[in-house]
Chain A
């Protein structure tokens, strides 16, 4: 499954571990939330980078004690109509999470820009759509009415622009 990041397909530098698999020294590993909670004492000493795959019933608050050690959070989008992960992503960004957010599931290019706007940066996508389709979709609508979103597609923030003299909301720290 290709990984889309920064508008191109990239090699996935992360390894997703089964709950009983060993964590290799210095590796970039993604563990389940259940394992993270169970084995935190060990995982906290991991010498590589730590990622976590969370179910979309997770409350962002549950992750708070671990967040400073987590470099990647994988959010599931099990169905087009199940938008819980949009709110989890936004919640994490509003809380100041600076690591990477990744979307996984059955993602259509038509969702890409909205996912970017809530702060998601990488996307596990199917091979059905060519890279150009994703690149096109990433900046299809060049403005947002909402304020304070991540603007990876260089979207204009309409309300802030209308009221010149008023700065657009400060960029989220993780953006750019």
Chain B
């Protein structure tokens, strides 16, 4: 994985010192809260309902064991013993004191981490496929481009005062696990018939109150042109997007209002006008970065893993976990381990300091010292021998980390909602917990099959409900929380925005409503047909019928 050189280290150190100074100026009253707000946001510090919240960047979701241990230390020392992994592959701490933030950022800088641009109206932490570099279907590891863009976007003087946040996602695989079509800019790798790498550039996707699927502005941009081309997109956005209404200030609105063709011609005109003097340095830099992402050396394993097979026969619970939580690795005898942070009744994405240390130890011992945070709020060990998985599982069981529900109904994505967030209109966590209990029976979850349930506590859609197969949106109606259900969303290759099924439900009615939807699906599905496919075939009618007609 990427390691800082002297330049990176100095940059983060100076940025940390700068922020410590800003926080001190706020504490002394030199800066007003209004002036301090955008400064702290650019360093990941929010003011939430009860306390400050610090969001720490995990660039493209990749962490070393040492870094994970440091996250545990911060949880124990400065928070309440836990942290929350987010849908942007970051971690956030919900109970932070302003006067501690300088020390926390310094503790992070020591392990090459920071909170830079995890919030605020700037280019945010770049996200990617959590199986990057290991997945069997991948063309190449997209993380070098993620790192290139991290550096390029860090304190970019032209694009640090955008009208709104700006999110970029990259994927190197044809099966999109990075939701690139619902980002401000999505990049997807392709190879041409000469074997050259290029990127499909998609612009104007997004969720929030106006969900949209991105349009492709370039089908195959040569890799060396990525940075100057993205500069052209950013410049067009910064100059021409509306600033009269913050909800109309995302690039998706500009693309929509100009029309895809006009937007594209503006970008191409800007790009033609200010071409890069040279892209050779970018190419060399990308090559330098790519060296850090070289595959760890994996000893050759035979395809058949006898201990693994034996353990599955002897232990049904392990067999279930292996069936659901392991994913196909490129190499024989290896697998990708998905650690679910969704125990029955738990808070999606939460991990205690102790759990973080356990995962760090497992990564160090069995997974080449590397962990990933997934946008589904789980943790991934990317290169694991099948023969080691039983030992890993046993350790996970001891620490309540062995939920065998990866990709199933219990693997719920949820934002922090009204329990923490100042923007939320309803709670999301208790809904996730009650659904998790409702579907606690893993036999039932497996019978239902692959399913994405996403819960957001307001229309800003941090829980990505628009692209959940089942989306749940919490709203406020005259002081009462109620929940709207959408069906048919997807963030995959054939991305789609879910459609609202009908009138909303009170919080305590949601689990029964979801159960009715799933019962209907199970009854009507063709053999082997997954929920999303069935919904696309059947349309909303039978689900509406099940939910509303009987009443």
Question: Residues on A close to B: CB < 8 A?
Answer: 59, 80-84, 86-88, 90-91, 94, 108, 110-111, 113-115, 117-118, 140-149, 156, 158-163, 166, 169-170
| Residue in A59, A80, A169 with the greatest tally of chain B CB atoms within 10 Å | A80
Within 8 A of A (CB), among B128-162: 151-152, 154-162
Contact A118 B157 (CB under 8 A): yes
Which of A59, A115, A117 meets B239, CB within 8 Å?
A59
CB-defined contacts of B64 to chain A, threshold 8 Å: none
B 146-188 to A, binary, CB cutoff 8 A, 1 in contact else 0: 0000011011111111110000000000000000000000000
Of all chain B residues, the one with the shortest Cβ separation from A85 is B161
Whether B197 is near chain A, meaning CB under 8 Å from some CB there, is no
Whether B10 is near chain A, meaning CB under 8 Å from some CB there, is yes
Which of A94, A111, A145, A166 meets B284, CB within 8 Å?
A166
A113 vs B280: C-alpha distance when bound (angstroms): 27
Contact A162 B15 (CB under 8 A): no
Contact B151 A158 (CB under 8 A): yes
Contact A83 B281 (CB under 8 A): no
Contact B288 A110 (CB under 8 A): no
A170 vs B154: C-alpha distance when bound (angstroms): 22
Contact B239 A88 (CB under 8 A): yes
Q: Contacts A81-B38, A108-B35, A163-B284: A143 and B7 contacting too (C-beta < 8 A)?
A: yes
Contact B7 A158 (CB under 8 A): yes
CB-defined contacts of B277 to chain A, threshold 8 Å: 148, 169-170
Whether B18 is near chain A, meaning CB under 8 Å from some CB there, is yes
Contact A161 B7 (CB under 8 A): yes
Contact A80 B35 (CB under 8 A): yes
Contact A86 B238 (CB under 8 A): yes
Which of B158, B274, B284 meets A86, CB within 8 Å?
B158
CB-defined contacts of B24 to chain A, threshold 8 Å: none
A133 vs B160: C-alpha distance when bound (angstroms): 21
Q: Contacts A114-B157, A162-B5: A145 and B18 contacting too (C-beta < 8 A)?
A: no
Contact B11 A146 (CB under 8 A): no
Contact A141 B39 (CB under 8 A): no
Of all chain A residues, the one with the shortest Cβ separation from B121 is A81
Whether B441 is near chain A, meaning CB under 8 Å from some CB there, is no
Shortest C-beta distance, A15 to chain B (Å), equals 29
Q: Contacts A86-B157, A145-B151: A159 and B243 contacting too (C-beta < 8 A)?
A: no
Contact A83 B162 (CB under 8 A): yes
Shortest C-beta distance, B195 to chain A (Å), equals 24
Give how many B residues have a beta carbon under 8 Å from the other chain's beta carbons: 37
B 15-38 to A, binary, CB cutoff 8 A, 1 in contact else 0: 100100010000000000001001
CB-defined contacts of A113 to chain B, threshold 8 Å: 157
What 9 pairs across the A-B complex have the smallest Cβ distances? A83-B161, A114-B157, A117-B157, A145-B151, A158-B7, A87-B238, A163-B284, A94-B274, A141-B14
Q: Contacts A87-B238, A170-B277: A144 and B163 contacting too (C-beta < 8 A)?
A: no
Whether B100 is near chain A, meaning CB under 8 Å from some CB there, is no
Whether B282 is near chain A, meaning CB under 8 Å from some CB there, is yes
Whether B285 is near chain A, meaning CB under 8 Å from some CB there, is yes
B 306-342 to A, binary, CB cutoff 8 A, 1 in contact else 0: 0000000000000000000000000000000000000
Contact A87 B239 (CB under 8 A): yes
| Residue in B8, B121, B157 with the greatest tally of chain A CB atoms within 10 Å | B157
Contact B238 A84 (CB under 8 A): yes
| Residue in A82, A118, A145, A160 with the greatest tally of chain B CB atoms within 10 Å | A145
Whether B235 is near chain A, meaning CB under 8 Å from some CB there, is yes
CB-defined contacts of A91 to chain B, threshold 8 Å: 235, 239, 274
Contact B280 A166 (CB under 8 A): yes
Which of A84, A86, A162 meets B7, CB within 8 Å?
A162
Contact A87 B158 (CB under 8 A): yes
Q: Contacts A160-B281, A166-B281: A115 and B7 contacting too (C-beta < 8 A)?
A: no
Shortest C-beta distance, A107 to chain B (Å), equals 11
Contact B288 A82 (CB under 8 A): no
A141 vs B5: C-alpha distance when bound (angstroms): 16
New A-B contacts (20) at CB < 8 Å, excluding given A83-B159, A169-B277: A80-B161, A81-B163, A82-B161, A84-B238, A86-B157, A87-B235, A88-B239, A90-B158, A91-B235, A94-B274, A113-B157, A114-B157, A114-B160, A140-B14, A146-B156, A158-B8, A158-B151, A159-B151, A166-B281, A166-B284
CB-defined contacts of B235 to chain A, threshold 8 Å: 87, 90-91
CB-defined contacts of B11 to chain A, threshold 8 Å: 141, 143, 145, 158
Q: Pick 11 A–B contacts, CB within 8 A, sort by A.
A: A82-B163, A88-B239, A90-B157, A143-B10, A144-B157, A146-B157, A159-B151, A162-B284, A163-B284, A163-B288, A166-B280
Which of A94, A118, A159 meets B285, CB within 8 Å?
A159
Shortest C-beta distance, A2 to chain B (Å), equals 18
A114 vs B131: C-alpha distance when bound (angstroms): 36
CB-defined contacts of A140 to chain B, threshold 8 Å: 14, 18
A156 vs B8: C-alpha distance when bound (angstroms): 12
Contact B22 A110 (CB under 8 A): yes
CB-defined contacts of B239 to chain A, threshold 8 Å: 59, 84, 87-88, 91
Q: Contacts A141-B155, A143-B7, A156-B7: A163 and B161 contacting too (C-beta < 8 A)?
A: no
CB-defined contacts of A111 to chain B, threshold 8 Å: 161
Q: Contacts A81-B161, A146-B152, A156-B7: A163 and B15 contacting too (C-beta < 8 A)?
A: no
Of all chain A residues, the one with the shortest Cβ separation from B155 is A141
Of all chain B residues, the one with the shortest Cβ separation from A160 is B281
A109 vs B115: C-alpha distance when bound (angstroms): 21
CB-defined contacts of A59 to chain B, threshold 8 Å: 239
CB-defined contacts of B38 to chain A, threshold 8 Å: 80-81
Of all chain B residues, the one with the shortest Cβ separation from A147 is B281
Contact A145 B152 (CB under 8 A): yes
Contact B39 A145 (CB under 8 A): no
A110 vs B43: C-alpha distance when bound (angstroms): 13
CB-defined contacts of B284 to chain A, threshold 8 Å: 162-163, 166
